[in-house]
Structure 1
Amino acid sequence: MSDAPWMHGMHADAGYLLYRLGLRSGSLFNAALERHGLRLRHHAVLRYLATVEGARQRELAERLGYDPSAIVSLLDDLQRLGIAERRPDPADRRSRLVVLTEAGRELLRTADRDSRRVTEQLLEPLSPDERATLTGLLQRIAPL
């Protein structure tokens, strides 16, 4: 850590520290997922799709907090990779559901292992109790 006086104030600011952590974690996650042709945003979509029987694009945008226009290009990427596909919605023929393919489920299992390794790397300095506390605090201030 630098001894510059302005750095002491920055390192005491929780917002700035969260910002820095976000940059670092995003970079590490993207590097780990890159070998699968994914970025963190793709992985988030895949993880959500693994929990539902299909989702409309609007639902994905709302649940993940992404701009609806960003969802379109993310889904195009996933469809091009053959890991997600758009299917007609049986409840509304004007709408399409996005579903995870079997190849997508397999890729997600592998990508999740890489993701867990990144999480371990990020949380390595913390004890198990500190990790649990941090997770609880983050869930309170960044609810899903």
Structure 2
Amino acid sequence: MPKAAAPATSEVLRSSTLTDHLNFLLARANAIALAAGNAALAQHGLKVRSYSVLVLASGDARPSQRELAEFLQLDPSQVVSLVDGLESRGLVERTPDPSDRRANVVVATDAGRALAAVAGESAQAAEQRVHARLTSDERETLATLLRSLAFPED
């Protein structure tokens, strides 16, 4: 009698108790989403982190680098590097903060706002591909749950 084939390693790993851990599932889902986002944004010379800074600099908030670091949960040195890269491409500027002359805020240039809009379409398309298995109600529920984890003070 022939021996039954052993299950593939990926099937064995998928049945691991690790898949019962929410932190693992969030980390794996995040890795998949980041890879898709980075691939989609590459055509614009961006990655998810630089795109995030560009989008925030394109809005009305006029964030400082410190505020960007806190909001994005990045080390301040990473934000400095991201802003430097965007600034060297003429996409953002550091301008004096009118409410604190010791600080600078990061503001998108016209070219930066235009790129943020075009890149946003690519990012949105990648997000839709990653979440294609979910219904619109499930996506909204997931967004609500993730917001409550990401912003527990709200």
Residue 49 of structure 1 aligns to which amino acid in structure 2?
A
Match of 1:141 among 129, 132, 149: 149
- Note the C-alpha offset of 1:53: 5.0
1:129 aligns with 2:137: yes
The separation in 1 between residues aligned to 2:71 and 2:60, in whole angstroms, is 12
With structure 1 as the length reference, what TM-score do the two structures score?
Answer: 0.89
Counterpart of 1:109 in structure 2 is 117
Question: d(CA) in 2 for partners of 1:11 and 1:90?
Answer: 49
The residue that corresponds to 1:13 in the other structure is 21
Distance 1:45 1:66 in 2: 11
1:89 is displaced (CA, Å) by 2.8
Corresponding residue for residue 98 of structure 1:
106
Of residues 29, 33, 41, the one that matches 2:41 is 33
CA pair 17-111 structure 1, distance change in 2 beyond 3 A: same
The alignment status of 1:68 with 2:40, answered yes or no, reads no
Q: Distance in 2 between matches of 1:14 and 1:28?
A: 21
- Give the 3-state SS of the residue equivalent to 1:82 in structure 2: coil
Amino acid at match of 1:74: L
User: What's the secondary structure of 1:66's corresponding residue?
Assistant: coil
Q: 1:91 to 1:129 in 2, by over 3 A?
A: closer
Larger Cα-atom Rg: 2
Structure 1: runs of 5 or more not aligned: none
Q: Distance in 2 between matches of 1:139 and 1:53?
A: 19
Q: Deviation digits for residues 98-132 of structure 1, max 9, x if unmatched? A: 11100000000001000100110011001111111
Please report how far the alpha carbon of residue 29 of structure 1 lies from its aligned counterpart in structure 2 after TM superposition.
0.6
% identity of equivalent residues: 38
Unaligned runs of 5+ in 2: 1-7
SS in 1 for 2:11: coil
Contact 2:64 2:103 in 1 (8 A): yes
1:104 maps to amino acid = G
Q: Which residue of 1 aligns with 2:64?
A: 56
Please list the CA deviations of residues 9-56 of structure 1 after superposition, one character each: whole Å capped at 9, or x if unmatched: 233322211111111111111111111111111111112122225222
**Conservation of the 8 A alpha-carbon contact between 2:65 and 2:79:** yes
Structure 2 residue aligned with 1:118, among 92, 113, 126? 126
